[in-house]
Structure formats: structure tokens, C-alpha cells
Amino acid sequence: MTAYTATVTVRLKRGVLDPEAETTARALERLGFAIEGLRSADRFEVDLEAEDADEAIARAEEMAERLLANPTIHDYDVEVAER
Amino acid sequence: MTVAVVRFGGSNCDRDAERALDRLGIDAEIVWHEDGLPADTTGIVVPGGFSYGDYLRAGAMAAHSPIMTEVREAAADGVPVLGICNGAQIGCESGLTPGAFTTNESARFQCEHVHLRVERADTPWTAAYEDGEVIELPIAHGEGRYELDDDRLTELEIEGRVLFRYCDADGELTPEANPNGSKHNVAGVLGERETVAVLMPHPERATLSELGATDGRGVLRAFADATES
């Protein structure tokens, strides 16, 4: 078994309104930053042991499907690295 | 008969729902989620609140608690299930009903009275109303914006599974009357069976005459009708 950290990034699907990101963007503009857009995402770092990287990815993807993301509104991606 | 009002850590409309049902002459009891559903459960309310502190997403944690497996099984057997506010979020997160309730367009918590148009009066939840009737109920939520991709929402509408929409006092579906930016002004939807429904507004808070509004009685009366029939 190898120790991995799986990083799951969950973000809203394109076209789904993100009021919190819009509010944050407006706050940045009020502070004087010129920006053209802002998207927010949640990042989860999961430490786990797996036979290989493929197994670690598969398990992290199942975590995303079943809990970390809501497939109705979210896309997600998974990266793994040995730790 | 007993309507089980499922209490999670952070539920806060459980007693309101129990009292409202009691006042309508419907036997109800609060059930702690870890205890599971009583054997004589003939109806289920998943009440409002902030279960699990809204961690991850509103409703996400409660949706995966073991009692929700029992609730889904009961729903599949035809037991009436009503999810209100946080209960609606839990219902969608658990797959009882389609779509998702997410952050209000205003990005703020909103607590106000709204008008709703009854889209169908031939369901257990709306039998007390007329088609197109405008009723008034309170809302109190930060994540009530209904989201579903356009194709699936169209399917849902064709199947007649939109139960309530936000409207103005005349029943018009205007953007101004939509408090949270919900797609197509959707405020409540049906599950695969019409005995399963979720809505963001609070019928249990519009049931007692001493508090003024009583338009919510009709929704809760579904539980009485379910036993009689």
C-alpha cells in the first residue's frame, strides 16, 4: 500500500449562478482591483492508502460522487500525489 | 396513525411541525434520527432547521444519515413524505426529489412572506386548494434557489411535478416575486410519487389562527387524508 493525498476540487457547473463569487468579485472591485471574472471552488484534501494511484483516484471520485459534490450543480476533478 | 417528524442535530422547526399537525387533529411525534422510524409511521415530515450546521452543503450531511434510507423505503411504499425548508434541501440531496436548493441569488438569508401559486390541485398536498390559487406562506432560508438543468426542468414541468411557484399577489410569475432566483420560480416539487413533496416555504408556520396566516393548513392536511383513504 502507498500513502496518497487525493485532492478533490468541487466547483459549480458552468451556467449555474454563483452569488457568493459575484459578491466576492464586487468586494474586490471596491478595493480597487480590476478583475474580469471570479469563480470559487471547494478543495478537499483526503489522505488515504491505496494499492496504486488509479485506486486512489477511483476512491476519491466515488467520494465526490456520493458526498463531496452534488452532481446536479457541481463538476469536480481529482488529483492524487504520494505523500 | 403517527406522523414521524424527523429531528436531526440542528433541526429547529420540528416542534412547530408537530404542534401544527396536532392542532389539525393529526397524531405526530418527533423522532430522533438515530432511533429510526417507528413501526406505525404513516407519514413523515423532514422539518426545517440547520441540520449538521449546514456543513458541506445545506442538507448534505442529513441526507446520508441512516434514517434517510428508511425514509426513502417508506416513500417508495407510498407513505406520504413532506420536506420543508432544510427538509427540502435534505430531500433533494438524498434523491427523494429532483434538483437542488442552493444559495439565494441575493447571497443573503431571507425571512419574509411570499405568495405561491398552486400549480396542481390534484395532489394530496394541494387538494385543499384550487388550481392556480394564490396562497401566502413565510420563507426563511439562505439556500432556497431551485436549480436543475434546463432539459430536466422541462421534463419535470411536462410531468406536472412542479407543485408551487413564487408569484405576485395576482398569481403572475414575475422576477420581482421570485425571492431567491429559483429557476422558473419553482418553490416546491414532487418526487417520483406524488405522495412525496418538498418545498422551501413553511406551511407549518401558517397553520395556527392566533398567529394570523393559516394558508399552510392545506398542505399538512395531506397527512390526515392519507389515513382516512
- pLDDT value at position A6? 98
Q: How many domains is chain A partitioned into structurally?
A: 1
B64 as an active site residue: the answer is no
Which of A10, A70, A74, A75 to mutate to probe the B interface, most B CBs <10 Å? A70
Tens digit of pLDDT for each residue in B205-219?
999 998 888 999 999
CB B10 within 8 A of CB B53: yes
CB contact under 8 A, B105 and A19: yes
Tens digit of pLDDT for each residue in A19-72?
999 999 999 999 999 999 999 999 999 999 999 999 999 999 999 999 999 999
Mean pLDDT calculated for residue range B141-156? 97
Mean pLDDT of all residues belonging to chain B: 96
Distance (Å) from the C-alpha of residue A55 to the closest C-alpha of chain B? 24
Tens digit of pLDDT for each residue in B101-140?
999 999 999 999 999 999 999 999 999 999 999 999 999 9
Domain ranges of chain B: 2-228
Return the CATH class of domain B2-228. alpha beta
Task: Round to whole Å and give the CA distance between B106 and B140.
Answer: 13
Task: Round to whole Å and give the CA distance between B89 and B132.
Answer: 25
Chain B residues near residue A66 by CB distance under 8 angstroms: 64
B/e letters for A23-59, b = 16+ CB within 10 Å, e = fewer, are ebbeeeeeeeeeeeebeeeeebebebebeeeebbbeb
CB contact under 8 A, B145 and A22: no
Q: Which residues contact A2 (CB under 8 A, 6 or more apart)?
A: A49, A50, A51, A52, A53, A56, A82
Domain hosting A64: range is 2-82
Q: What share of chain A is helix, strand, coil (3-state, %, to 5)?
A: 35, 35, 30
Domain containing residue A39: CATH number: 3.30.1280.10
CB A40 within 8 A of CB A19: no
Chain B residues near residue A20 by CB distance under 8 angstroms: 103, 107
Q: Which helix (H) or strand (E) holds B76?
A: helix B66-76
Asked if residue B229 has pLDDT above 60, the reply is no
Return the C-alpha cell found at B86: 432544510
Mean pLDDT calculated for residue range B60-89? 97
- B100, B106, B145: residue with CB nearest A70: B100
pLDDT interval class at B227 (50, 70, 90) = low
pLDDT interval class at B228 (50, 70, 90) = low
- pLDDT value at position B212? 85
- pLDDT value at position B225? 79
Q: How many CB atoms lie within 10 A of CB B111?
A: 10
Task: Round to whole Å and give the CA distance between B166 and B155.
Answer: 19
Enter the pTM of the model: 0.95
For chain B, percent of residues with pLDDT exceeding 90: 95
